[in-house]
Amino acid sequence: MGELRTAGERPPWEGLDGTDRHAACVVAARDGDRRALDVLVADLTPLVWHVARGHGLDRSTAEDVVQTVWLALLRHLDRLVEPRALAGWLVVATRREAQRTWTPSRREAALSDELAEQLESEYGLPEDAALVDDRDHRLWRAFGRLSQKCQELLRLTVLAGRAEYRAVAEALSMPRGSIGPTRGRCLTTLRAHLDAEGGSR
């Protein structure tokens, strides 16, 4: 590790975004700049969190997985061959840790509350509390019929938002420009599956 940079020194990631920003942070963190780790955690924890929740983990277990993944990154920071591939590394590490802690009883939780709320906003699903359980079951069944690629893409983009498209594209090995159109097709397919489940109302 190199010497810690002074607080007043201009950070090397300033003015950068996406993979360039994260790569600069990885290099700086290796040199002992603790601010770089703070930036990475702030930027990429939402991505790690949504991957963990997307694998059916409850909030408490997901928090443990997120912490474990960041600790694993700290241990492997010097061995990360390609700093620009950090988001992809985090997604893979989170998947593995989530699968290690996953149990069949958690399957129904795989459609997280956050995703259900976002999809409800997309499609105007019913607000009546008496219909929520039935709606969630149908939504989960419809979601479960999507391809793995669509499930993963919706988990990351519906939850993480457009600001994360660059990291999502990297993590899923997709061109950034194809994220939006593919997301639209996945949502259309989801709606068709919902209709087959008896509609959204």
Write out pLDDT tens, residues 88-104.
Answer: 888 888 888 988 887 65
Q: What does the CA dihedral 125, 193, 49, 74 come to, rounded to 10 degrees?
A: -170
Is 107 within a domain? no
Residue 67 belongs to domain with CATH number: 1.10.1740.10
- Among 4-18, 92-106, 179-193, the range with the most confident prediction by mean pLDDT is 179-193
Token digits of residue 57: 């983990």
pLDDT in tens, 135-160: 667 787 888 888 888 888 887 776 55
| 96 shares its domain with 20 | yes
- The two structure tokens encoding residue 131: 């219909």
Q: Could you read off the pLDDT of 28-83 as tens digits, one per residue? A: 999 989 899 999 998 888 888 888 887 778 888 889 999 999 999 998 888 888 88
Q: For residues 82-86, give the mean pLDDT.
A: 85
Task: Specify if 113 maps to a domain.
Answer: no
> What is the secondary structure of 90-150 as a DSSP string?
HHHHHHHHHHHH--GGGGGGGS-HHHHHHHHHHHT----HHHHHHHHHHHHHHHHTS-HHH
Q: Is residue 56 part of a domain?
A: yes
pLDDT at 153: 83
180 domain-assigned: yes
- Which of 102, 121, 142 delimits the end of a domain? 102
Cα–Cα–Cα angle for 126, 154, 133, rounded to 5 degrees: 30
One domain for residues 154 and 89: no
Q: Same structural domain for residues 87 and 152?
A: no
Q: How far is Cα 165 from Cα 148, in angstroms, rounded to an integer?
A: 18
Q: Is residue 6 part of a domain?
A: no
Question: What is the pTM (predicted TM-score) of this model?
Answer: 0.61
Parent domain of 42: 12-102
Asked if 65 and 135 sit in the same domain, the reply is no
Residue 2 has pLDDT above 50, yes or no: no
- Predicted pLDDT at 152: 81
In a domain, 111, yes or no: no
The span from the CA of 92 to the CA of 72, in Å, is 12
Q: Comparing 146 with 122, which gets the higher pLDDT?
A: 146
Q: Would you place residue 114 in the very low, low, confident or very high pLDDT band (cuts 50, 70, 90)?
A: low
Tokens 């994220």 belong to 179
- Is there a domain that residue 1 lies in? no
Give the list of residues 6+ apart from residue 50 with CB closer than 8 angstroms, or none. 112, 114, 155, 156, 159, 160
Coil, strand, or helix at residue 112?
A: coil
Residue 143 burial class via C-beta count within 10 angstroms: exposed 0-12, middle 13-18, buried 19 and up? buried
- Number of domains into which the chain is organized: 2
Query: First-to-last CA distance in the chain?
Result: 58
DSSP 9: S
Q: Is position 98 within any domain?
A: yes
Give me the mean pLDDT over the 18-29 stretch: 89
In the chain, at which residue ranges do the beta strands (DSSP E only) sit?
Answer: none
Q: 24 and 98 share a domain?
A: yes
Could you give the CA distance from residue 116 to residue 73 in angstroms, rounded to a whole number?
30
Q: Are residues 20 and 82 in the same domain?
A: yes
What's 184's domain CATH number? 1.10.10.10
Tokens 């993979």 found at: 19
pLDDT surpasses 80 at 121: no
